[in-house]
Amino acid sequence: MKLRTPSLLYLVCITSLLFILSESTQPPFSCDASDPATKSYPFCETTLPITQRVRDLVSRLTLGEKISQLVNSAPAIPRLGIPDYQWWSEALHGLAVSRGLRFNGTIRSATSFPQAVGIEGRAIYNVGQAMGLTFWAPNINIFRDPRWGRGQETPGEDPLVTGKYAVSYVRGIQGDSFEGGKLGENLQASACCKHFTAYDLDNWKGVTRYVFNANVSLQDLADTYQPPFQSCIEEGKASGVMCAYNRVNGVPNCADYNLLSKTARGQWGFNGYITADCDAVATIYEQQGYFKVPEDAAADVLKAGMDVDCGSYLLKYTKSAVEKRKLSLSEIDRALYNLFSIRMRLGLFNGNPVKQPFGNIGLDQICSQEHQNLALEAARNGIVLLKNAKKLLPLSKTETTSLAVIGPNADSEQTLLGNYAGPPCKTITPLKGLQSYAKDTRFHQGCSAVNCSSAFTDQAMNVATRADRVVLVMGLDQTQEREKFDRVDLVLPPKQQNLISAIARDAKNPIILVLLSGGPIDISFAKNDPHIGSILWAGYPGEAGGRALAEIIFGDHNPGGRLPVTWYPQSYTNIPMTDMRMRPEPSSGYPGRTYRFYQGPKVFEFGYGLSYSNYTYEFLPVKRNKVYLHNQVSSHVVGTSNPPGYIPVSKIGTEVCDKIKHQVTVRVENNGEMAGRHSLLLFVRPANMSNMRPVKQLVAFQSVNLKAGERAEIELELRPCEHLSLANEDGTMVIEEGSYFLSIGDKEIEIQAVK
C-alpha cells in the first residue's frame, strides 16, 4: 500500500474485473429467451424500468424465498428461473480467492497489482466461472494508527487522497468513465466501499473489532472519517457499501439508522445495497450484547437500512422476528428491492450476459500484456526512495562486478502480493529482478522468516563481504501485519535489525536496504547509519514488484513515489490504539494523529520521497489572492457553536462556492540528468494555528512526466469552501476568516479569506 500519487488515479480506469468460480462454460443468469416459462414475466421485460421490474419480482416471492435472499449465499429460486448468487467476491488489488471466485477452471491466475489497487474485467464471468459480480472493495478507512494490520489495504492516512482513490476505483470497476454517469444505471461490475465507519482496529492487545466501541467526536467524523465514504457515494456513485463490525459512540454500525439511512441514503443520495461485514449481525447480539434476543438484531439491522447479511443470522431469525411483530414485511421488501436492483443493473435478468453490452469481454483480457505492463508501471511509480546518501543509487550496470542479495523477502513471491490476493499471472521477485542486471549475483536468505527467529548471520555475512554491492530485502509480511492482527511495535523484529546492522558494518561498500511492508516502520537506526547508503520502501508491490525494484536500483527508472502515511518513532506506541481522537491535546500530552494533526517527532513525513532528479518549483502570480465569501453572511451565526470569524459553508451557498473556485499555477522543473515522473503536492496551512485546525492539509495533487531539464506549468484547482474549511465541534464545516499559505516543497504564497 502506498500513495502512488502518480498511479492512484489511472490504475483503476481499466474497464474490467476478473471473476473465477466453477468449471462451467456459461454464466448464471435469469430470463433466458429460450425458456417460455420465464420470458413472459414482467421482471424479464428489459424495456420496463428497473423499479417496475424489481417490484414485480419481489411480489412473486414467498416469505421463505424472500428471507433466503437476505444472505450473501443467495440460493436459486427454480420456479422463477432465478439462479443462485454469491454477493461475496474480493478484488482489492486484483482478483482474490473468496466465496464468489476460485481459480480451478480455465482461468487459474489474474493480474496482481500493487496494494491497494487493481481491477481486471468481467471476462471470467462470461466464461461461466463466477457466481457473482459484486466485489467487496475498496477499503477506504483512514490509516489512522500505524499499527493497524489492515492499513496495507488502504490508500493511506489522508482523507482527500482516500476519497479520490475511492472515486477512481469505483468508476473503474463499475465500468464508468472518469467523468461519471456515462453508463447510467448499468454496471459492468459492482464496487463496495468499506468499512462504514470509523473502523481501523482489528485486534490490539486483546481488544477486537467485534467488541470495540469507537468513541469519535462529531468534529473528527466530519473532517476525517466520513469524507472518503461521502466521495465514494456522491462522486463515485458506488453501488455497494459495507457496514463495519465496530460500534461508534455506542451504536453498532450495521444497526445505525442515522448512519445507513439518514446519512448514506438521505444526505448523500446512496443508490445501492448495504452489506454487513461477515457475521457482523451475529456479533451485535452474541459479542456486543447490544440486543436482548437474536430477533432484535435481525429486525434492527434491516430497519436501520442494511440489506444483506454476510452470514446466516438473517436466515435463522428473520421469520421469527416477523412472527413476533418485531419486523414488518415492508422492511424485507425494501432490502430485496435494493438487492435485485443491483443484479438487474448488472444485466443478470436480461438473458444471456454474453449477448449483453459487456458480453464481448473475453479471455484475452485476463493476464493480458497490457494489464501486466500496468502492474509493472504501478509498482515502479509506487516505490519510495527514502535515503540516497552520496547518490549511491542508481548502481552502475557496467561497474557493479558482483552483487549479494540477502533477506527473507528477497525471493518470496507471496510477500509481494500482500493480503486479499489471488494467484498472479507471473511473479518476479527482487532476487529474480536483480539477477537480470548482475550476472554474478549471490543469494542468501539471511533468516528463515522475517521475524528472524533463526538467523544465519555467519553464512549471510560470508556472502555479503565477498560482493562488490549488497542489497538487503527485509521488512514485514502477513505474519507481522494482517486482518485480525495489529502490531504492538513499529520497529523491525530485533534479530532482523541486528542482521541488517551487522552486514552493513562489514560490507565492502555502503549497502542498499529494501523494505517490504504495508505499514510504516521506525527505521531510525538505518536512516542514521552511514553504512546504509540507500533505503527503498516498496510496500507490497504485486507480481512485478521485483522487476520494478531492480529497474530503480540500476537506473532504468527514476523513483518518484511518496509516502501515504507518517512514519512515527517507536515511542508512538505509548498511545493507546483505541484512542480515536485526531486532534492533539497538549495539556495531557496527547500528540494527535496523522500529518494533519500530529505534533511530535517523525521518522519520515507524509508525502516524503526522493528522486534521482532535483525538482524546483515556482508559483506563478495568482489571479486572486483574496477569497471573498458571501458578503451578507454574518461572521457569527446564532444557534451554532461557531466563534466570531467562523462562517458555516452551508451559509455561503453552492453558487458562491462555485464562483470562488480558481486555478493555482505552479512551474516545476526537472534539474536532474534523468527523466522522471514527479508528484506535485499542494498543501494549505493557516497563518494562525489552533487545536481545531490541521497543521497543514493536502488540497490537490498531480503527477507530471518531465525529461531532464524540462519544465512545465501545472494548474491545480483551489476550492475554498472545501479546502479552507474545517469541522467545528458539532461537525459543521466552517471557514475561518484570515490568512492561509499554499505550499509546494519549499515555496509558499499567501491567500486571504475575507467576507
Tell me the catalytic residues. Answer: 277
Residue 713 exposed, middle or buried by CB count within 10 Å (0-12, 13-18, 19+) = exposed
Cα 552 to Cα 393: distance, rounded to the nearest angstrom: 8
| Residue 661 one-letter amino acid | K
Cα 678 to Cα 707: distance, rounded to the nearest angstrom: 11
**Strands (DSSP E) found in 487-543:** 511-516, 532-539
- Grid cell 528522486 is found at 611
What is residue 340's DSSP assignment? H
Measured at the CA of 90, the angle between CA 308 and CA 150, to 5 degrees, comes to 100
Measured at the CA of 502, the angle between CA 500 and CA 507, to 5 degrees, comes to 95
Length of the chain in terms of residues written? 755
Question: Strands 532-539 and 384-388: what pairing?
Answer: antiparallel
Measured at the CA of 754, the angle between CA 750 and CA 755, to 5 degrees, comes to 170
Residue 339 burial (CB count, 10 A):
24
> What 3-state DSSP class applies to 242?
strand
Cell of 712: 512545465
Cell of 210: 467485534
| Residue 732 one-letter amino acid | T
Residue pair 383/541 in contact by the 8 Å Cβ criterion:
yes
Cell of 206: 486483546
- Closest by CA to 237, choosing from 188, 198, 272, is 272
Cell of 446: 539471511
Cα 94 to Cα 672: distance, rounded to the nearest angstrom: 35
Buried b or exposed e, range 488-520, using 16+ CB within 10 angstroms: eebbbbebbbebbebbbeebeebbbbbbbbbbb
Cα 100 to Cα 724: distance, rounded to the nearest angstrom: 44
Phi-psi domain of 457 (left: phi exceeds 0; alpha: psi -120 through 50; beta: other): alpha
Cα 694 to Cα 616: distance, rounded to the nearest angstrom: 26
Q: Given strand 646-648, what is the order of strands in its sheet?
A: 646-648, 733-736, 725-727
Cα 27 to Cα 545: distance, rounded to the nearest angstrom: 34
Of the CA atoms within 13 Å of residue 676, those in its CB half-sphere come to 27
Buried b or exposed e, range 729-752, using 16+ CB within 10 angstroms: eeebbbbbbeebebbbeeeebebe
Cell of 737: 476568516
Cell of 157: 492516512
H-helix or E-strand containing 173? helix 159-174
Residue 26 burial (CB count, 10 A):
11
